[in-house]
Amino acid sequence: MQDLFDTLRDREALFSNMDNPSIVDASGKETLDDQGNRVGLTVTLLDATVGFATRPGPEWTQCYLSGGNLAGRTALGVVTTTVTHNNPYVNLSKTSSVSATFSESSAIQFASYGNIVTVDPINGVAGTAYPIGTQQLPVNNLNDAKVIALTVGLDNLHIHGDYEFPSNAFLAGYKIYGDTLL
């Protein structure tokens, strides 16, 4: 939807189209609640339809409209559901968003850590960029784990497997958890 909106705005801005009425409007990202959830992008076509170019066939081509909602309105302000135009040898799939589609990325990132930074000295990777330090992509060293924990706002470190702490490891304020072996 964002690409459709940007493309239509670019077309409207062409010198040859400057005197023509607008063909697109959009809204979205309005806050829904205090949890950081936001409305997704809704593109509204104004007296216009969208379609994909006719294909030569005989094979059909699958084309998609996704990433938000698509609506239509006539020049008189009447809402219309006819916003797509079907062309030969084109299957058009339109996916609408029926719930909040955006959440604050920091909240999503924080939740993905599961309240703990995971360290795996064997299978982990070095670095501090998200998603390193999550259970799915553990970090491989204690220094990076501490930077991640500080950045994200966590004080729990999960050490996976065997780990020998350096003698100068300063871990005041951290809770260290390990794997339980039976």
pLDDT score, position 122: 92
Average pLDDT rounded to a whole number, residues 149-171: 86
- Whether 122 is in a domain gets the answer yes
The answer to whether the pTM exceeds 0.75 is no
pLDDT recorded at residue 97: 62
Residue 76 counted as domain residue: yes
Q: Answer yes or no: do 50 and 6 share one domain.
A: yes
Same structural domain, 38 and 118: no
Mean pLDDT of 14-22: 89
Bigger pLDDT: 63 or 109? Answer: 63
Report the half-sphere exposure of 43 (CA within 13 A, side-chain side): 26
Strands 42-46 and 24-27: antiparallel
Cis peptide before 21 (omega within 30 of 0): no
Instruction: Judge whether 39 and 30 are in contact, CB under 8 Å.
Output: yes
- Give the whole-angstrom CA distance, residue 28 versus residue 97: 12
Q: What range defines the domain where residue 40 resides?
A: 2-94
Same domain, 165 and 111: yes
Q: Does residue 70 sit in the same domain as residue 122?
A: no
pLDDT score, position 33: 64
